[in-house]
Protein backbone atom coordinates (compact mmCIF):
# COMPACT_ATOMS: atom_id res chain seq x y z
CA UNK A 1 0.00 0.00 0.00
CA UNK A 2 1.19 3.52 -0.71
CA UNK A 3 2.25 5.63 2.23
CA UNK A 4 2.55 9.09 0.70
CA UNK A 5 -0.44 11.13 -0.40
CA UNK A 6 1.57 12.29 -3.43
CA UNK A 7 2.27 8.72 -4.67
CA UNK A 8 -1.26 8.07 -5.92
CA UNK A 9 -0.92 10.96 -8.36
CA UNK A 10 1.71 8.92 -10.22
CA UNK A 11 -0.69 5.99 -10.63
CA UNK A 12 -3.30 4.28 -8.50
CA UNK A 13 -2.35 1.12 -6.65
CA UNK A 14 -4.49 -1.99 -7.17
CA UNK A 15 -6.87 -2.63 -4.26
CA UNK A 16 -7.65 -6.37 -4.21
CA UNK A 17 -10.65 -7.91 -2.47
CA UNK A 18 -12.38 -11.29 -2.46
CA UNK A 19 -15.08 -10.50 -5.04
CA UNK A 20 -13.27 -7.84 -7.04
CA UNK A 21 -10.17 -5.79 -7.56
CA UNK A 22 -10.25 -2.03 -7.84
CA UNK A 23 -7.64 -0.89 -10.34
CA UNK A 24 -7.00 2.19 -12.43
CA UNK A 25 -9.02 2.24 -15.63
CA UNK A 26 -7.26 1.17 -18.83
CA UNK A 27 -8.14 2.09 -22.42
CA UNK A 28 -9.04 -1.58 -22.94
CA UNK A 29 -11.94 -1.12 -20.46
CA UNK A 30 -13.81 1.25 -22.78
CA UNK A 31 -15.81 -1.42 -24.62
CA UNK A 32 -16.88 -3.26 -21.46
CA UNK A 33 -17.83 -0.06 -19.64
CA UNK A 34 -19.90 1.09 -22.59
CA UNK A 35 -21.74 -2.26 -22.73
CA UNK A 36 -22.21 -2.64 -18.95
CA UNK A 37 -23.25 0.93 -18.08
CA UNK A 38 -25.59 1.69 -20.96
CA UNK A 39 -28.43 -0.60 -19.87
CA UNK A 40 -31.74 1.02 -18.87
CA UNK A 41 -31.60 -0.24 -15.26
CA UNK A 42 -28.12 1.25 -14.73
CA UNK A 43 -28.74 4.51 -16.61
CA UNK A 44 -31.76 5.19 -14.41
CA UNK A 45 -29.56 6.23 -11.47
CA UNK A 46 -26.65 7.99 -13.16
CA UNK A 47 -25.85 10.94 -15.35
CA UNK A 48 -25.81 10.00 -19.00
CA UNK A 49 -22.72 7.85 -19.61
CA UNK A 50 -20.40 8.49 -22.55
CA UNK A 51 -22.39 7.72 -25.73
CA UNK A 52 -19.97 5.18 -27.23
CA UNK A 53 -16.77 3.22 -26.53
CA UNK A 54 -14.59 5.95 -28.09
CA UNK A 55 -16.07 8.48 -25.66
CA UNK A 56 -15.31 6.09 -22.78
CA UNK A 57 -11.69 6.01 -24.00
CA UNK A 58 -11.64 9.82 -23.83
CA UNK A 59 -13.13 9.67 -20.32
CA UNK A 60 -10.38 7.24 -19.24
CA UNK A 61 -7.69 9.58 -20.63
CA UNK A 62 -9.33 12.53 -18.84
CA UNK A 63 -9.47 10.54 -15.57
CA UNK A 64 -5.73 9.83 -15.76
CA UNK A 65 -4.93 13.50 -16.44
CA UNK A 66 -7.13 14.66 -13.54
CA UNK A 67 -5.53 12.08 -11.22
CA UNK A 68 -2.11 13.50 -12.08
CA UNK A 69 -3.30 16.94 -10.93
CA UNK A 70 -4.54 15.45 -7.66
CA UNK A 71 -8.20 16.36 -8.29
CA UNK A 72 -9.82 13.05 -9.21
CA UNK A 73 -9.52 9.35 -8.46
CA UNK A 74 -11.28 6.76 -10.60
CA UNK A 75 -11.06 3.04 -9.99
CA UNK A 76 -12.41 0.39 -12.31
CA UNK A 77 -14.39 -2.42 -10.67
CA UNK A 78 -13.01 -5.70 -12.00
CA UNK A 79 -14.98 -8.73 -10.74
CA UNK A 80 -12.88 -11.73 -9.68
CA UNK A 81 -12.11 -13.98 -12.63
CA UNK A 82 -12.67 -11.20 -15.16
CA UNK A 83 -10.21 -8.95 -17.00
CA UNK A 84 -12.28 -5.84 -17.77
CA UNK A 85 -13.96 -3.20 -15.62
CA UNK A 86 -17.71 -3.56 -15.09
CA UNK A 87 -18.16 -0.28 -13.23
CA UNK A 88 -16.34 2.49 -11.41
CA UNK A 89 -15.82 4.09 -8.04
CA UNK A 90 -14.77 7.71 -8.31
CA UNK A 91 -13.77 10.40 -5.86
CA UNK A 92 -13.92 14.04 -6.92
CA UNK A 93 -12.09 16.74 -5.01
CA UNK A 94 -14.56 19.31 -3.65
CA UNK A 95 -11.97 21.44 -1.84
CA UNK A 96 -8.26 21.94 -2.50
CA UNK A 97 -6.03 19.30 -0.96
CA UNK A 98 -8.87 16.77 -1.00
CA UNK A 99 -10.05 17.92 2.43
CA UNK A 100 -13.56 17.18 1.14
CA UNK A 101 -14.50 14.82 -1.68
CA UNK A 102 -17.56 13.38 -3.39
CA UNK A 103 -17.93 9.64 -3.90
CA UNK A 104 -19.57 8.39 -7.06
CA UNK A 105 -20.20 4.81 -8.12
CA UNK A 106 -21.87 2.84 -10.85
CA UNK A 107 -21.67 -0.82 -11.76
CA UNK A 108 -23.24 -3.38 -14.04
CA UNK A 109 -26.63 -4.54 -12.83
CA UNK A 110 -25.45 -8.18 -12.96
CA UNK A 111 -23.23 -7.34 -9.96
CA UNK A 112 -26.02 -5.87 -7.82
CA UNK A 113 -26.87 -7.86 -4.69
CA UNK A 114 -23.68 -9.96 -4.78
CA UNK A 115 -21.60 -8.04 -2.22
CA UNK A 116 -19.53 -6.22 -4.84
CA UNK A 117 -20.62 -2.73 -3.79
CA UNK A 118 -19.92 -3.01 -0.04
CA UNK A 119 -16.55 -4.66 -0.60
CA UNK A 120 -15.52 -2.15 -3.28
CA UNK A 121 -16.75 0.80 -1.24
CA UNK A 122 -14.78 -0.44 1.79
CA UNK A 123 -11.61 -0.61 -0.32
CA UNK A 124 -12.25 2.82 -1.85
CA UNK A 125 -13.04 4.52 1.45
CA UNK A 126 -10.04 2.95 3.21
CA UNK A 127 -7.83 4.30 0.43
CA UNK A 128 -9.46 7.73 0.51
CA UNK A 129 -9.25 8.18 4.27
CA UNK A 130 -5.94 6.47 4.99
CA UNK A 131 -3.83 7.24 1.92
CA UNK A 132 -5.32 10.38 0.39
CA UNK A 133 -6.19 11.75 3.87
CA UNK A 134 -9.67 12.99 2.93
CA UNK A 135 -11.53 14.37 5.96
CA UNK A 136 -15.13 14.33 4.65
CA UNK A 137 -16.69 12.29 1.85
CA UNK A 138 -20.11 13.15 0.49
CA UNK A 139 -22.33 11.03 -1.74
CA UNK A 140 -25.67 11.57 -3.43
CA UNK A 141 -28.35 9.09 -4.34
CA UNK A 142 -31.76 9.63 -5.93
CA UNK A 143 -34.49 9.40 -3.29
CA UNK A 144 -36.09 6.50 -5.16
CA UNK A 145 -32.80 4.56 -5.34
CA UNK A 146 -33.55 2.43 -2.31
CA UNK A 147 -30.66 0.03 -3.00
CA UNK A 148 -28.10 2.88 -3.27
CA UNK A 149 -29.39 4.69 -0.18
CA UNK A 150 -29.40 1.49 1.90
CA UNK A 151 -25.84 0.71 0.79
CA UNK A 152 -24.61 4.15 1.84
CA UNK A 153 -26.30 3.78 5.22
CA UNK A 154 -24.67 0.36 5.75
CA UNK A 155 -21.28 1.95 5.13
CA UNK A 156 -21.92 4.24 8.08
CA UNK A 157 -22.71 7.38 6.09
CA UNK A 158 -25.16 9.82 7.67
CA UNK A 159 -28.03 11.25 5.64
CA UNK A 160 -27.72 15.01 5.98
CA UNK A 161 -30.48 16.32 3.81
CA UNK A 162 -32.62 16.24 0.70
CA UNK A 163 -31.45 18.09 -2.40
CA UNK A 164 -34.49 19.21 -4.36
CA UNK A 165 -34.45 18.78 -8.14
CA UNK A 166 -30.73 17.89 -8.01
CA UNK A 167 -30.72 15.19 -10.70
CA UNK A 168 -32.14 15.16 -14.24
CA UNK A 169 -33.63 11.82 -15.29
CA UNK A 170 -35.23 11.33 -18.68
CA UNK A 171 -37.57 14.32 -18.86
CA UNK A 172 -37.83 15.52 -15.26
CA UNK A 173 -35.88 16.50 -12.15
CA UNK A 174 -35.44 14.08 -9.26
CA UNK A 175 -34.59 14.82 -5.63
CA UNK A 176 -31.46 13.30 -4.14
CA UNK A 177 -30.38 12.53 -0.58
CA UNK A 178 -27.03 13.91 0.54
CA UNK A 179 -24.94 11.48 2.58
CA UNK A 180 -21.61 12.11 4.34
CA UNK A 181 -19.01 10.20 6.27
CA UNK A 182 -16.04 11.67 8.15
CA UNK A 183 -12.60 10.19 8.61
CA UNK A 184 -13.31 9.99 12.35
CA UNK A 185 -16.52 8.01 11.66
CA UNK A 186 -14.60 5.63 9.40
CA UNK A 187 -11.80 5.18 11.93
CA UNK A 188 -14.31 4.50 14.73
CA UNK A 189 -16.17 2.02 12.51
CA UNK A 190 -12.92 0.21 11.71
CA UNK A 191 -12.01 -0.01 15.38
CA UNK A 192 -15.45 -1.44 16.21
CA UNK A 193 -15.08 -4.10 13.50
CA UNK A 194 -11.60 -5.00 14.76
CA UNK A 195 -12.92 -5.37 18.35
CA UNK A 196 -15.44 -8.04 17.29
Rounded to the nearest integer, the mean pLDDT of the chain is: 90
- Note the pTM of the prediction, 2 decimals: 0.88
Reading phi first (left if > 0) and then psi (alpha if -120 to 50, else beta), residue 112 is in beta
Instruction: Provide the residue ranges of all domains of the chain, joining segments of one domain with +.
Output: 7-195
- Correct CATH for 7-195 of 3.40.50.970, 3.30.590.10, 3.40.630.30, 3.90.1330.10: 3.40.630.30
pLDDT at 193: 53
Pairing label, strands 72-79, 136-142:
unpaired
In this prediction, residues 1-15 reach a mean pLDDT of 75
Closest CA to 19 of 154, 141, 121, 103: 121
What is the share, in percent, of the chain residues with pLDDT greater than 90? 74
What is the share, in percent, of the chain residues with pLDDT greater than 70? 92
The model's confidence at residue 49, banded by pLDDT at 50, 70 and 90, is: confident
pLDDT surpassing 70 at residue 34: yes
The pLDDT tens digits of the residues spanning 139-194 come to 999 999 888 899 999 999 999 999 999 988 778 899 999 999 999 999 888 755 55
Contact in structure between 125 and 137 (CB atoms under 8 Å)? yes
The pLDDT tens digits of the residues spanning 126-148 come to 999 999 999 999 999 999 988 88
What distance in Å separates the CA atoms of residue 184 and residue 97, rounded to the nearest whole number?
Answer: 18
Amino acid sequence: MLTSTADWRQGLPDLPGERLTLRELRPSDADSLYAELNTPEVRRFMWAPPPNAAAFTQFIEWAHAERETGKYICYGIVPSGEADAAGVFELRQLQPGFWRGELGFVMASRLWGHGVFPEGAQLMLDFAFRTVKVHRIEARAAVDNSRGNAALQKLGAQREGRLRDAFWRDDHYVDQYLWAILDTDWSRRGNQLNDK
